[in-house]
Amino acid sequence: MSSVAHLRARAEAEAARLPPLLAQAEHLAGTVLLGEHGRRRAGMGDDFWQYRPVQPGDSLRMIDWRRSAKSDAQFVRQREWQVAQSVMLWVDAAPSMQFASGKDGVRKGERARLLALAVAILLIRSGERVGLTGTLLPPRRGEGQILRLTEMFLQEDGGDYGTPETKAMLPHARALFVSDFMGDFEAFSQALTKAADRGVRGVCYQVLDPAEEDFPYRGRAVFESMGGTLSHETKKADDLRQRYVEKLAERRERLRDLCRVTGWRYGTHHTGDSAQAALLWLHRALENRG
């Protein structure tokens, strides 16, 4: 009895969380669509395909007003759909992504999910198939997929640092890995090589907190990972700063190298910066099919 009520309550709580993320992502995606619109550049499917009646879920901007004005119903003008790509997303949901410096800071995981979902919306709107890596949610088209993706993104992993899931990678698909890439570098390297072997190209997007970049700590401190598995104690944190920054740069360089070798693109984003710029970069990077 209680489990039903419990389930219901949880479901409602989850559902309540869903719209903000979705709305945020829609909003973010909307800014990019608007920006792209003015460029009059030929996108995928320039040719007219058909008018179809408006269905729930279509945004107003998709309505073809010229056609709609000729009759009582509203129509959406669909363009010729060309070969759709599959895009596979992996968003790191490990506890390390829960980190945010300062009280009001944005968590890395939040930003990563937001960006991934916004990219997914953009891709789905432009007719691509989007799914998650692994077997949980294979790439599909349609608005419903956005909801499913949102739901999946809200789940969190255990452990301390995340590793990309490379099972069931579709050959020659595209992929987007969003993470802080603080985890085991070897595991990541293997995953990426495996994906590249299957002809998957994509983007590694490293989301970092400004504190991770600058290391603004001083004095005596014990640093612990978010899961609590690792810890390091120091007497003078400010002395470590220079070496930390160097090591971070080194890891970033290795990531960049790995990406170059495998034909992926590598980008960095700080949670202190604007999400919109990051989305623009991601959108451009994913469109840029090599």
Partner 1 sequence: MIGGLAIGFVTPWLLAALVILPVLWLILRAIPPAPVKRLFPGVVLLLGLTDDDTVTDRTPWWLLVLRMLAVAAVIIGLAGPLLNPQEREDGQGPLLVLLDASWASASDWDARRAMVEALLEEAARDGRVVAVQRLSAPEELRFAQADVWTSRMAGVLPMAWEADAATHETFVAGLGEQAFDTIWLSDGLERGGREAVLSALQARGDVRVVQTGRGALALAPPTYEDGKVLLTAKRTQAALEREITVQAIGLDPAGTERVLAALPITFEAGSAQAETALSLPSELRARVTRFEIAGVRSAGAVSLSDDSLRRREVALIAGREDREGLQLLSPLHYLRQALVETADVLEGALTDVLPANPDVIVLADVAVLSEGETAAMLEWLDQGGLLLRFAGPRLAASEVSRTEEDPLLPVRLRAGGRSVGGAMSWGEPKSLAPFDVDSPFYGLSVPDEVTVTAQVVAQPDPTLADRVIAELSDGTPLVTRKAVGQGQVVLVHVTANAQWSALPLSGLFVQMLDRLAVLSATGADAEERMAGTTWQPVKVLDGFGRLEDGQTLAGVTGEAMLEAPLSMDLRPGLYRDGDRLLALNVLRAEDDLQPVRWPADVPVEGLRGAVTTDLSGYFLAAALILLAVDVLASLAVSGRLWGARVAAVVLAGLALPQEILAQEVFADHAQEVVLGHIVTGNRGVDDTALAGLRGLGMVLNFRTSVEPAAPVSVDLESDELAFFPLLYWPITPDQPTPSREAYAKLNTYLRSGGMILFDTRDGDVAGFGTSSPNGRKLQSLATGLDIPPLDPVPSDHVLTRTFYLLQDFPGRYLSRDVWVEAAPPDAEQIEGMPFRNLNDGVTPVVIGGNDWAAAWARDAMGNTMYPVGRGRSGERQREIAYRFGVNLVMHVLTGNYKSDQVHVPALLDRLGQ
Residues that bind partner 1 (CB under 8 A): 96-97, 99, 161, 180, 182-183, 209, 211-212, 215, 217-226, 230-240, 243-244, 247-248, 251
Cβ atoms of 90 and 133 closer than 8 Å: yes
Write phi, then psi, for 234 (nearest 5 degrees): -140, 155
Cβ atoms of 262 and 199 closer than 8 Å: no
Rounded to a whole number of angstroms, the minimum distance from the CB of residue 269 to partner 1 is 15
State which residue, 27 or 241, has the beta carbon closest to partner 1: 241
Rounded to a whole number of angstroms, the minimum distance from the CB of residue 226 to partner 1 is 6
Beta-carbon neighbour count of residue 87 at 10 Å?
22
Rounded to a whole number of angstroms, the minimum distance from the CB of residue 47 to partner 1 is 47
Beta-ladder partners of 130: 87, 140
Rounded to a whole number of angstroms, the minimum distance from the CB of residue 69 to partner 1 is 38
User: Is 134 buried (19+), middle (13-18) or exposed (0-12) by CB count in 10 A?
Assistant: middle
State which residue, 128 or 212, has the beta carbon closest to partner 1: 212
Structure tokens at 28: 């973010």
State which residue, 63 or 248, has the beta carbon closest to partner 1: 248
Rounded to a whole number of angstroms, the minimum distance from the CB of residue 166 to partner 1 is 21
Rounded to a whole number of angstroms, the minimum distance from the CB of residue 53 to partner 1 is 47
Residues 6 or more apart in contact with residue 32 via CB below 8 angstroms: 118, 122, 276, 279, 280, 283
Cβ atoms of 105 and 19 closer than 8 Å: no
State which residue, 64 or 160, has the beta carbon closest to partner 1: 160
State which residue, 97 or 116, has the beta carbon closest to partner 1: 97
Residues 6 or more apart in contact with residue 267 via CB below 8 angstroms: 203, 204, 205, 206, 278, 281, 282, 285
State which residue, 67 or 241, has the beta carbon closest to partner 1: 241
